[in-house]
A and B are shown apart, each in its own frame.
Chain A
Amino acid sequence: MAKKRIKKIALHFLIIFSVLVVCAPVLLAIIISTQTLAEVFSYPPKFTPSRNFSNYGAALKNVNLVRMMLNSTFIAIIVTLGKIIMSLLAAFAFTHFKFKGKNILFFVVLVTLLLPIPVRIVALFDIVSKLKWIDTYWGLIVPFLASATGTFLFIQRFKMVPMELLDAAKMDGCSPMRYLLQILIPVSANTIGALIVIEFIYIWNQYLWPLMATNSKHMRVVQIGVKMLIQTESINNWGIIMAGVVMTMIPPLVVFFVMQESFMRGFALASEK
């Protein structure tokens, strides 16, 4: 029994150690964000927090982080919603219909995973400009609405729904769209939860495209704010920069923690069988 307890304590110790290592960068960032300029520039550095919150005010003021966070939140919510709807429809088509060119069309969706933004940014910018979408929400939203990830996740989820259910529905004369709405979507709650986390974080964390596609201060998004904070700080006052970084981390973390359970289950699906 004692041996078992020692083992437990050792386990706790190991895990707490890992937790500390994983959390250290952000803990130190929080600590420095509460220090005054003189403390930030002291060497050896000060490892304890102070009670100075002016850095947060300075970060908010320097680059208007509030507006940027609102923009990012809005865009992330719309894109996430759009992606979920479009990939639901696409996955439904792939799993519940027989049609010509299905394999090719499926392959095409697959290939999109291999075309990250840097590979196509030149021409993408041209198109978005011609649509007069530069510096608008449209330009930050529409190009990202299609989602291969979402389509695949939903295909997998739909394939796990017992076939008898579909047969029974068809017997009852249930229309395809009603089947999607009343049967498939409710059983896919966890997948939707996982997608909310994945896509919200993906859009919130976008960096290169918003940099190119926005100009005015009321259209900027949060990752550019981080870059601007670093550029603006002529002496790298890490107190202010880290205050900004800490604030921009909060929304995706909130989404992540709130949705954590269904995210894990939705993810589990992806690797099962």
Chain B
Amino acid sequence: MRHRVFRFGLILLILFLPSVIFAAGGQEAPEITGTVSVEMWHAMSGERIQLIEGIVESFMKQNPNINVVVQYTGSYNDTLNKTTAAFRAGNPPHVFHLYEIGTLGMANSGMVTPIGDLTRWEEIDWDAFFSPVSNYYTISGKHYSMPFNSSTPLLYYNKSFFKQAGLPDKAPATFDAVIEVGKKLKGSGLDLKAPITWNLNCWYFEQFHCIMDAPLVNNDNGRTGTFPTKALFNQEAGQTIAEWWTGMERDGIFLDVGPGWSNHRAAFGSGEVAMVMSSTSDVNKLTNLLDEKGWEMGTGFMPRPVGAKGGVTIGGGTLWISSGHPDAELYAALKLVKYISEDDAQKKWHKGTGYFPVRKTAMKALEKEGWFRENPNFLVAFNQLLESPYTYNTAGALIGVFPELRKLVETGIQRVYAGEKTVKETLDEAGAKSDEAMKEWNELNQ
């Protein structure tokens, strides 16, 4: 019996071997004749605009027959809206940049060509990528978009303040330790508004779920091809996180600086708090800010409840290739996003912005250069990511209505700050509303 199954398998293998080889070896790529023009829209502002333009320049030098028009089109959300509108009008950019939480929405938008569908022309070595990075953008085994700028939260602390308060020179690692350190800082005579802060963003709430290895939504966090139908962030893990977070706010350990990505940095930089949680891409900025005041900065992993077994997931953005272009243009777009994800570009990108390089090979190259000896805080950020185990929960949730869900959670947290609701009430309410939104979204995406 076993023998026959084996023989059957052998026959199958022989029969299909040619096609397997064919698929792996790559289909003939479309020819790029003359000059192909490719448009790329991205959402990175400030000095990052020039950085991206520089990377694209060097791509064009390597590929003289591909002309890339690169444009900064505002925030992720602005870029998404413009792309959608341009798609309806029939002239979307070939490549566009989008936040991680838009992944499921984009995959079902009918506007994109999955990268996995194009790799028949040119292979991409996915194994070279950090697995949390490439996993996030893979749905049921298919790669949809190209990882570009990736980051996770990191806990930053003011070493000088810790010293003055007589605290050991390390970031608190657990929820309880944060409170304890917070209380000591409060009683230390330092002129702080509060010991710790981070901006009001659901991102942290999600990341703590990953750290606790708990799902945000059902159906394997939306990871296995079935759309999620029910929010699970109002369960035990969510409650633990929110109780800790809002409890600190209530007790004056946490400073509420509202949403947005600048107040919390400013509070840390001006010495109004001694600890801040923010993106790993802030290492440079925050180091410089503290430098200016003559303070030293340290970093640590995101704190976790005692016994939590998960790890961080990836945030940031990826590059999508839109649909509806001739093969030659799609091929040129593929070459572009591939180039941006490769080591040279990613090293440049990492050094200029503080975002992770998306590939392990790039990290190794940086290590060789001695980059981490000079910048130990980056190493902490990397290690936090590398130590993350892979589960559906740490891969990050795939939710069609993710932006709306985020807003619901953020609003809920503010309600608890204001004392209008308890944690349980607020999370249940946000959960019920998310369920409703998912139901409507699922109906339209059947």
Contact A236 B263 (CB under 8 A): yes
Which DSSP category, helix, strand, loop or mixed, fits chain A's interface? helix
Contact B89 A129 (CB under 8 A): yes
- The answer to the question of B41 belonging to the interface, with a C-beta cut-off of 8 Å to chain A, is yes
Contact B266 A129 (CB under 8 A): no
Contact A129 B91 (CB under 8 A): yes
Contacts of B263 in A (CB 8 A): 236
Tell me whether A41 and B270 are in contact in the complex, defined as CB-CB below 8 angstroms, given that A215-B41, A215-B73, A234-B262 are known contacts: yes
Bound together, the chains give a CA A129 to CA B88 distance in angstroms of: 9
- The answer to the question of B309 belonging to the interface, with a C-beta cut-off of 8 Å to chain A, is no
- The answer to the question of A43 belonging to the interface, with a C-beta cut-off of 8 Å to chain B, is yes
B421 CB to nearest chain A CB (Å): 30
| Chain-A contact segment, one of B79-87, B134-142, B383-391 | B79-87
Tell me whether A234 and B261 are in contact in the complex, defined as CB-CB below 8 angstroms, given that A126-B88, A215-B41 are known contacts: yes
Contact B71 A215 (CB under 8 A): yes
B74, B75, B78, B89: the one contacting A130 at CB < 8 Å is B89
- The answer to the question of B72 belonging to the interface, with a C-beta cut-off of 8 Å to chain A, is yes
- The answer to the question of B269 belonging to the interface, with a C-beta cut-off of 8 Å to chain A, is yes
Contacts of B85 in A (CB 8 A): 125-126, 129, 212
A80 CB to nearest chain B CB (Å): 27
Tell me whether A236 and B266 are in contact in the complex, defined as CB-CB below 8 angstroms, given that A134-B86, A134-B89, A212-B85 are known contacts: yes
Residue of B nearest to A129 (CB): B89
Residue of A nearest to B69 (CB): A216
Contact A234 B46 (CB under 8 A): yes
Contact A231 B285 (CB under 8 A): no
- The answer to the question of B165 belonging to the interface, with a C-beta cut-off of 8 Å to chain A, is no
Contacts of A231 in B (CB 8 A): 45-46, 74-75
Residue of A nearest to B81 (CB): A212
Contacts of A62 in B (CB 8 A): 46
- The answer to the question of B292 belonging to the interface, with a C-beta cut-off of 8 Å to chain A, is yes
Among A38, A215, A231, chain B packs the most CB atoms within 10 A around the CB of: A215
- Tell me the A233-270 residues at the B interface (CB within 8 Å): 233-236
Contacts of A95 in B (CB 8 A): none
Bound together, the chains give a CA A148 to CA B10 distance in angstroms of: 79
Among B262, B269, B293, chain A packs the most CB atoms within 10 A around the CB of: B262
Bound together, the chains give a CA A171 to CA B295 distance in angstroms of: 88
- The answer to the question of B304 belonging to the interface, with a C-beta cut-off of 8 Å to chain A, is no
- The answer to the question of A174 belonging to the interface, with a C-beta cut-off of 8 Å to chain B, is no
Residue of A nearest to B282 (CB): A234
Contact B270 A43 (CB under 8 A): yes
Bound together, the chains give a CA A41 to CA B292 distance in angstroms of: 11
Q: Mark B58-84, 1 if CB is under 8 A from A, else 0.
A: 000000000000011111001001100
- Tell me the B261-287 residues at the A interface (CB within 8 Å): 261-263, 265-266, 269-270, 272, 282, 285
Tell me whether A215 and B46 are in contact in the complex, defined as CB-CB below 8 angstroms, given that A129-B88, A235-B285 are known contacts: no
Contacts of B89 in A (CB 8 A): 125-126, 129-130, 134
Among B45, B86, B88, chain A packs the most CB atoms within 10 A around the CB of: B45
Q: Mark A31-50, 1 if CB is under 8 A from B, else 0.
A: 00000011001110000000
Contacts of B74 in A (CB 8 A): 211, 224, 227-228, 231
Contact B289 A235 (CB under 8 A): yes
- Residues in chain B within 8 A of chain A (CB atoms): 41, 45-46, 71-75, 78, 81-82, 85-86, 88-91, 261-263, 265-266, 269-270, 272, 282, 285, 289, 292-293
List 6 A-B pairs, minimum CB-CB distance, nearest first: A129-B89, A236-B262, A232-B46, A41-B270, A235-B265, A232-B45
What are 27 A-B pairs with beta-carbon distances under 8 A? A38-B292, A38-B293, A41-B269, A41-B270, A43-B270, A62-B46, A125-B85, A126-B85, A126-B88, A129-B90, A130-B89, A212-B85, A215-B71, A215-B73, A215-B82, A228-B74, A231-B46, A231-B74, A232-B45, A234-B265, A234-B282, A235-B262, A235-B266, A235-B269, A235-B285, A235-B289, A236-B263
Extra contacts, 16 of them, besides A62-B46, A235-B269, A235-B285 (Cβ < 8 A), are A38-B293, A125-B85, A129-B85, A134-B89, A211-B78, A212-B85, A215-B73, A216-B71, A217-B71, A231-B45, A231-B74, A234-B46, A235-B266, A235-B289, A236-B265, A236-B266
